[in-house]
Structure 1
Amino acid sequence: MGRCSVYSPSKPHSNRLLARLIGIDIATARRVVHVTTIRPVKVIGVVSIVDQPGVDCNSVDDMEAQKKKRRYSEEYIRCGFTVIIKDGTEMPQCVICAKVLSPAAMKPSLLQRHLHGCHQDLKGKDVDYFKRRETMLNGSKLDHSGSFHQSNKAALHASYVVALKIAQQKKPHSTGETLVMPCTKEIVRIMLGEQHAKKLDTVPLSDNTVQRRISDMSTDIKDQVVSEIKTAPLGIFALQLDETTDVNNCAQLLVFTRYIKDDDFKEDFLFCHPLESSTTSADIFELVNSFFQGEGLHWENLCGCTTDGAPAMLGSKSGFKTGVKAINSKVKHMHCMIHRQALAAKTLPTELKEVLDDTVKMVNFVKSSALSSRLFRLLCSDLDSVHETLLYHTEVRWLSRGNVVKRVFELNDELGLFFSCNDKKVTQVYLAKLNDPKWITGLAYIFDIFSRLNILNKSLQGADAVVTDAVDKLKSFQMKLKLWETKVKKGNFEMFEALAERQDISDQMVNLIVDHLASLQSDIKRYFPDVSEGILKLIRDPFHTDVASVNDEIQEEFIDFVNDSSASDLFEKESSLVRRPSQLGRDFESFYTVSGVREN
C-alpha cells in the first residue's frame, strides 16, 4: 500500500497524486484534503476517508494504534504482573515492586525480562505466590489506576524526610504539623496553585507520626550497626561508655562502638538508654548485658572498653570493669584519655586559683542581672569592642575555663569602665583587682596556659582517634612543658603571647609559673602512666616486634606473618597503617588487637 506525502489544496498536482494513489477521482480528492499538512500515514481504506469529508489524518493514526494495542492476559500473572487501567489504557504492573511498565511492554518476553532482572530470587516461584502478592497489592490501591499506591508511597517518603530534618535540627515533634506543613502548603499554593497544595494533605506529619518515624529510623540504624558488628572481621569490636545527666535531670547511658568495616575503622553510636533509678555499676552492666542479649552480641567478641574514671565504671571491686572481666578476662579497659587530660589540667596553685575564682565572680555579677547584662552589652557596643557579652563558667565543661578567662582578658578595659560606674562595694573590689598589675599578670598567664591546654584537649578528640596518636601528642606536650619551664626560668616568655606583653612580671610571679609548669608535668605523668611499649610497637611496626611479647597461643602464627614478604611490602607502602589494618589480611587483624599482646 502506498503512503501520502504533503498535500495542499493550493497545489493541483497534490490532488491528482492522491487520486492516482488511492484510485479516486479528482473531485473526491479535493473533498478529502481540508488540512494544510498531512503527515505520512498508512492508507487504511478509501471508504473511511471518502465517507467522512474533512477527516484529519491524525484520526487514522489513532485507528491504527487501537488496532495494535495489546490486551492483558491472565497468564501474565505467571510472570509476576497484574494490570492497571489508566486513561482507558491497560498497563502492566509488577506485583512485587509495584512498578508500572508502558503498554508496549505487555509481552511475556518483556515481563519475564523484568522478573529475571529485578527479582532473580523469585524466578522459581509458582503462580499461587504471585496471586497472593497480587491480592496484597490490590489491597493497597484505591482504584484500578494504582494512583493511591503511588501517591501514598511518595507521601510516606516525604513524611520520613521531614521527620529526619526535625530530628537533625533537634526541634519539637509538633514542628512538622504546626510549622512545616502550613508553610509548605502556602509555598505550593502561591507557586503552583490550589490543586497541587491539596496533594500535601496526604503527607502525615502529626507529632505522634513524627515520633514514630524517628523511632523507626533509629531502630533501622541500630540494626545496621549491629549487623555490621556481627559481620566484622573476626567479629571483634570495642565500646566506649559514659553516664551523663540531661537537661531534664535524667541519667542517660551513652554507648559508642568501633569495629572494622571495608578495610578501615568505623565508629558509630550504638545505643542510649535512661537509667531509671540508681546509676551503680550493677545497673550499667545489666543495661549493657540486656542489650547484648537482645541483639545477639557476645561478650567474647569484645576486645576493648573505654570509660571515665568514675567508681561505677572503674571500681576495683564492683565497677563495670570488674563485671566485664568476670565474663571476658581478655578485654582491655582504658580510662578515657580526654578525661584524664582534663583532670591533670585542673590543679592550680593557690594564687592562680584565686585569680580564676575572681574572674568567675566578675562574670557572674554581670550576667546574674538582666539590667547589668544589657548595660554591659550597650557599653561594649558603643566602644566597638570585639565582644559584647561574657561567658559563663561550667565546671563539667572542661573547655569553659579557658573560654571564660579569654573573654574576660579581652574585655578587661570594658569591665573596668563598667565597674567604675557602679558604686557598690563589691564592684569596687573587682575594680581594684583589674587595676592590680600582679592580678592582671596572673590573668594573662592562665589565659595563655588554658589556651594551650584547650588546644591539646581538642586534638585528642574527633573521629578515628587511636591510642598511639594520643600518646604521641601527650609526650610532645610533656616535652613542651619542660621547655617552657626552662625558658621561664631564663625570663623568656615568648611562648605565652599575652604574658609576653606584660612588662611588670615580678620574680614571685616567675616562680609561681615555674611551679605550675612543673606541677602540670607531674600530674600528666600520674594520670598517664606509660602504655605498654609492646602494644605500641605491635601497632606501629609489627614486623619488628619481639615474638616473646606475643601470647603463647599465637606465637607460631605470628612468626609466619612477620616472614610474609608480600605483607611486609604492603606495610611499607601504607602511609596510614593504623587506620587501615585489614589491608594486610586477616592474619594482621588478629595481631592488631591488643588482646594478643602480653602486658608488661
Structure 2
Amino acid sequence: KTYNVKRHFETKHQDFQTKYAEKPKDRKLRISNLEKSLNNEQKMLRATFTGADAVTVASYEISWMLAKHGKPFSDGALVKECFLESTDCLFNDLKNKNEIIRRIKNLQLSNDTVCRRISDISENLCAQLKAKIASAAALSLAVDESTDIGDVAQLCIWIRCIDTVNFEIIEDLLSLKSLHDRTLGEGIYIAARQACDEMNVLLNSIVSVTTDGALCMTGKHRGLVAEMTKEQLNLLTFHCIVHQQALCSKLGDGHMKGVMDKVVKVVNFIHARPLLHRRFVSLLQEIDSSYGDILLHTEVRWLSRGKVLQRFVALLPEIVWFLSEIGEEDKYPELKDDSWKEDLRKVIDELMCAMASFKIKLELFIAQIKEGDLVHFPMLNEACEGALRSDKREKFVATLQQLQKVFSSRFGDFVKVQSAGAFLQDPYTFPIVKLKDLATTFHLPRHELEEELSDLQGQGATYAAQHASSIQELWKCVAGQTLHLLSAKIQSMFGSTYICERTFSAMCRIKSRYRARLTDANNHAQLRCAVTHLQPDCEGIIASNKGNCR
C-alpha cells in the first residue's frame, strides 16, 4: 500500500534529501559514484573466483600428467613441494612473487584430491569417446585378456571407429573390465556386452572382432565370438596375425625342436648361476666381444626365439671355450658337433623369413633343398661348406613341409579381405569385378558399389586425389556413399591385438607390486588416461562441477 511505502521511506531514508539533492547534476554524480563502487566490489569478487579457477585448472592439469605417466596419486604432493622449493630461484626478481607463491600453496594436490581429479578426467574422456562413436559409420573391436599383479583377470577392449565425412580414425580404449570369477567365454561375453552398453555401442553395428585366439574367445558354442555372432550375424572375426605368426614359428616335435631345447638349456645353465654368469660376462669383456651377454628365451615374447638364436650363434665359440674352462663341456657335446651346428643355423634361417611371401618361399625352399641348393640358407651353406648330405636333406625337407602345412591352416581368416588393401590404396584402378567378394564379405549392395566405382573410374582421379598424402586424404576426394561406407569398414578393422598387449604393459606399470591394492575403478581411470589419444577438457570439467565441493 502507498501508506506502507511512504512510512518505510520516511523511517529508513530520512537523510535522502540531504545526500541526494534535488539538483539533477548532484544527484547524477552521486549515483555515478555508487555505480563505480559497486563495479569495483564486483571486480574484486570476480578476480578472486578467477584465481581460484586457475588454481583448480592447474590441479587438473598436474593430475592429468601424473596419470598419463602412470605415477602414484601421492606424487601430487611431491610436485607441489618441488614448486615451493624452486620459487626463490625462479621468481625472486618478479614483483608478484608473493602472489605466485600464494597460488602454489593453494594448489589442491593431496592423495585423495588427485584420485578424484583423475576420475573426473576419465569420465570426461569417456564422454568424448561416446560422441566420436555416435558419429561413426563403422567400428571394430580388439579384445584380449590378461592377469594383473593381484591375480585379477582384466579384459581389455579397444575400439577403432571412423566416420565417412572427414575419414577421421579414432582408436581408443573402450573399457577395461575386471573378471573376479572364472574367465569362461560366457563371462567374457557378458563383460564385453556391458562395456558396449556403457559406451552406447550396438553389437549389431560392429564390423569385426579381433582376438588372441584363446578358446574362451573363439569357442564354437560359448566363446566370445560365438556369443557375439548370435547378435551380429554378419560379424567378421580375426585371429591376431602376430599370434598366428608366433604359433607358426613353433617347431613342433621335430628334430629342430631338439636344437632349440639344447640352446635354451645352455643359456639357462649360464644365467641360473650368478657366479658363472658374472665370469661369462667378464670373459666377453676381456676378449672385447661384440656382445656383452647372451639372451634369455621366453615363449611369451613373439620375437624372442630368433633373437636368442642369433646371439647364441654369434657367441658360440666363446660359449664352448667358457664351458671347457669350467669343466662342463662334456654335458653339451652337441656344441662341437658340426651336424648339430647345421641344424642350428637352419633354424635361424627359417625364422628370419618374411611373413608376407613366406608361403611362396616355402615351396621354393623345399624344391631347392631337395636338389642340394642352399643359396637361401647362407649360414647353413657356410656350416656344411656347400655340400649337404642326403639324410640331412630329407630331415630339412620334412621340417619345411610340416611348417608349410601349419602355415596353410592359419591366416585363413585374412584371405577373405586380401583385396581390401588394394581397394583402399587406389580405387581408381581397382578391378570392378573384384568388388563382388568385398560386397559379400562386408554385406553391402553389390550393384551400388559397382555403379559408384564405375562412375568414379570413368571420371578419373582429380588433382587432389593424385597428390593425396594419406589414404584418408585420398578418400575425401572420392565420391560415392556406398564406397565411403566400404572404405570405412575396411579401415576400422584390427589386424592384431598388439594394442591390447601395449595396454597390459601400461597396466603393469600402474598396478605394480608397490600399488597392488589399487582398486579396479582407480586402475581403470588411470589406465585410460595413460593410453588415450584424446585430450581432457579441464575447464569443461570445472564448469560441470560448479556448485560441488571438490
User: Which TM-score applies when normalising by structure 1?
Assistant: 0.64
Q: Do structure 1's residue 186 and structure 2's residue 85 form an aligned pair?
A: yes
Aligned to 1:237: 139
Measured in 1, the distance between the counterparts of 2:151 and 2:36 equals 64
For the 8 Å contact 1:543–1:562, the answer to whether it is kept is no
Contact 1:189 1:197 in 2 (8 A): no
Structure 1 position 367, deviation (Å): 1.9
Aligned alpha-carbon RMSD (Å) = 3.6
| Cα offsets for 1:73-122 (capped at 9, x unmatched) | 499xxxxxx9556xxxx85xxxxxxxxxxxxxxxxxxxxxxxxxxxxxxx
Count matched residues: 439
Contact conserved, 1:260 with 1:266, CA < 8 A, in 2? yes
Any residues of structure 2 matched to 1:521-540 within 5 Å, and which? 521-529=404-412, 536=419, 540=423
Q: Report the Cα distance in structure 2 between the residues aligned to 1:451 and 1:175, rounded to whole angstroms.
A: 45
Q: 1:493 to 1:556 in 2, by over 3 A?
A: closer
1:137-536 map, 5 Å: 144=45, 146-147=47-48, 149-178=49-78, 180-193=79-92, 199-233=103-137, 236-261=138-163, 262-348=166-252, 350-423=254-327, 428-430=330-332, 432-452=333-353, 456=355, 473=356, 476-504=357-385, 506-507=388-389, 508-529=391-412, 536=419
Give the alignment of 1:60-99 within 5 angstroms: 73=35, 83=39
1:253 Cα deviation from its structure 2 partner: 0.8
Verify the 8 A CA contact 2:432 2:450 in the aligned structure 1.
Answer: no
SS in 2 for 1:408: helix
Residue 482 of structure 2 corresponds to residue 587 of structure 1: yes
Say whether the 8 Å CA contact 2:297–2:304 is kept in structure 1: yes
SS of equivalent to 1:263? coil
Higher alpha-carbon Rg: 1
The alignment partner of 1:346 has SS state of coil
Q: Return the alpha-carbon distance in structure 2 between the equivalents of residues 497 and 553 of structure 1.
A: 49
Structure 1 residue matching 2:412: 3-state secondary structure: coil
| 1:346 positional shift | 1.2
Is the 2:174–2:195 contact (alpha carbons within 8 Å) kept by the matching residues of 1? no
Deviations 1:528-573, CA, capped at 9 Å, x for gaps = 2375668736962566136766469834433542342478524984
Is there any run of 5+ residues in structure 2 with no aligned partner, and where? 1-28, 491-550
> How much has 1:485 moved relative to structure 2?
3.1
Rate the CA distance shift 1:201–1:442 in 2: closer, same or farther, 3 A.
farther
1:272–1:440: structure 2 CA closer, same or farther, 3 Å change rule?
same
Counterpart of 1:545 in 2: which secondary structure? Answer: helix
Q: Read off the aligned partner of 2:358 and give its amino acid letter.
A: F
1:545 corresponds to which of 433, 445, 466: 433
Query: For 1:183-230, what per-residue CA distance to the aligned partner results, in whole angstroms no more than 9, with x for missing partners?
Result: 444344344449556653333333433333333333333322221111
SS in 2 for 1:249: coil
Whether contact under 8 Å (2:453, 2:483) holds in the other structure is no
Contact 1:547 1:559 in 2 (8 A): yes
Task: Extract unaligned runs of 5+ from structure 1.
Answer: 1-66, 76-81, 92-142, 457-472, 596-600
Equivalent residue, structure 2, for 1:569: 460
Q: What is the DSSP-based 3-state SS (H/G/I as helix, E as strand, rest coil) of the residue aligned with 1:258?
A: strand
- Residues 245-289 of structure 1: CA deviation (Å, up to 9, x unaligned): 234432111111122142254432222122111111111111111
Q: Deviations over 1:40-94 (max 9, x none)?
A: xxxxxxxxxxxxxxxxxxxxxxxxxxx9xx979499xxxxxx9556xxxx85xxx
Separation in 2 of the partners of 1:303 and 1:384? 56
Q: Distance in 1 between matches of 2:369 and 2:265?
A: 29
Distance in 1 between residues matched to 2:40 and 2:396, nearest whole Å: 84
**How far off is 1:435 after superposition?**
2.0
In structure 1, the residue matched to 2:496 is: none
2:512 matched to which residue of 1?
Answer: none
The verdict on how the C-alpha distance between 1:533 and 1:282 changes in structure 2, with shifts beyond 3 A counting, is closer
Aligned identity (percent) is 26
Q: How does 1:9-158 map to 2 (within 5 A)?
A: 73=35, 83=39, 144=45, 146-147=47-48, 149-158=49-58
* CA deviation after TM superposition for structure 1 residue 415, in Å: 2.0
| Offset at residue 387 of structure 1 (A) | 2.4
In the alignment, what sits opposite 1:467?
none
| Aligned-partner SS, 2:460 | helix
CA distance change for structure 1 residues 177 and 501 in 2, over 3 Å: closer, same or farther? farther
Which stretch shifts more, 209-218 or 391-400?
Answer: 209-218
Give the Å deviation of 1:350: 2.5
Cα distance in 2 for partners of 1:150, 1:379 equals 66
Secondary structure in 1 matching 2:45? coil
SS at match of 2:366: helix
Change (3 A) 1:385 1:155: farther
AA aligned opposite 1:301: S
Q: Could you say if the C-alpha distance between residues 433 and 533 of structure 1 is closer, same or farther in structure 2, counting changes exceeding 3 Å?
A: closer
Separation of aligned partners in 2, 1:546 and 1:271: 37
**Alpha-carbon distance in 2 for matches of 1:434, 1:253:** 44
For residue 140 of structure 2, give the secondary structure of its aligned residue in structure 1: strand
Displacement of 1:448 after TM fit? 2.8
Distance 1:197 1:410 in 2: 60
In the alignment, is the contact (CA less than 8 A) between 1:240 and 1:306 conserved in 2?
yes
Q: Deviations over 1:317-343 (max 9, x none)?
A: 111112112112121122222222222
